[in-house]
A and B are shown apart, each in its own frame.
Chain A
Amino acid sequence: MTNSLLWYATRGAGAVTEILLTCVVVLGILSTLRVQTARWPRFLTTGLHRNLALMTLVFLALHIVTAVVDPFTNLGWAAAFIPFASSYRTFWLGLGAISFELLLAIVATSLARGWLGHRAWRLIHWLTYAAWPVAIVHGVGTGTDTWSAWMLAITACCIAAVGVSLVWRLTTSSRDPLAAPRLDFRSAVDRREVR
């Protein structure tokens, strides 16, 4: 019974992690769009993005722990960190480990942004666009519930949410009201020989 409980828990936590991670990605895209209303300033979007990112790590930890502790799977702790180290569902689980490490790197660099500098932080943050799809594929590939109606619906919604946000981002010009005057000033003081 304990085995099954752990199994259910890891499946439930996995689904919730997927949902949370999707929210984090969508909020991240929305913050580049600089959306805001009177009651929802921009720092609310970025603040929620940050809080949910940390929350995602918590539920991801739950998902990993319940999976590793489950005697069913015979996973060692190494499997969570070393991709393709487990014999149990080697490839799909390996993807999970990869996504996990990417997320760790992204969160760690965000917390240490003061020391790292803006450029390094930005570079690593782009890895989000790898971490999220890899997590989705991991879920689809290794997930017991992938083709159950409820999980199909969840995954479909997650993919749709990120898809719509991306399309919106790519089709909207920067709503940054500072973009134009900043560019004006820069070109006024730009003295480079080759632009």
Chain B
Amino acid sequence: MEITRIEARDAALRLLNHLTTGIAFAAIGAVGVLAAVSAATIPGSSPAASTTGSSNTTSTASSDTSASSSDSTSSSSSLQGSSGVSAASGGSGVAVSGASH
């Protein structure tokens, strides 16, 4: 049976809607997945960073980090270094939060 042009057009339009919806859901899911992956590979500061004091400390550390990471070419080592730095400041943060506990 010959499919008329109108029916073919309708089928294609349905396909367009399905693809759009599918990609939208996939994109939302991907944000979640990639956010989790990014959290796993380069985690942020500890929960103690909620206090303003420690957040200032941590933010300074991060901006130092970012400055170095944008400058240096061997950024993997500086990233390693930065996590080391934030761990250190996180350590001090822990001490502070320990107090707030």
Contacts and interface: CB of A to CB of B under 8 A. Distances in A.
Q: Say if the two chains contact directly (CB < 8 Å).
A: yes
Contacts of A88: 63, 66
A59 B31 contact: yes
A12 B34 contact: yes
A73 to B, nearest CB: 8
A37 to B, nearest CB: 10
A5 B73 CA distance: 28
Contacts of B37: 12, 150
Contacts of A51: 16, 20
Contacts of B9: 41
A41 B8 contact: yes
Contacts of A44: 12, 15-16
B50 A72 contact: no
B41 interface: yes
Given A41-B12, A52-B23, A92-B70, A12 B44 contact: no
B47 A144 contact: no
A174 interface: no
Contacts of B24: 55
Interface of A: 1-4, 7-9, 11-13, 15-16, 19-20, 23, 38-41, 43-44, 47-48, 51-52, 55, 59, 62, 71-72, 74, 88-89, 91-92, 141-142, 144-148, 150-151
Interface of B: 8-9, 11-13, 15-16, 19-20, 23-24, 27, 30-39, 41-45, 47, 49-50, 55, 58-59, 62-63, 66, 70, 75-76, 79
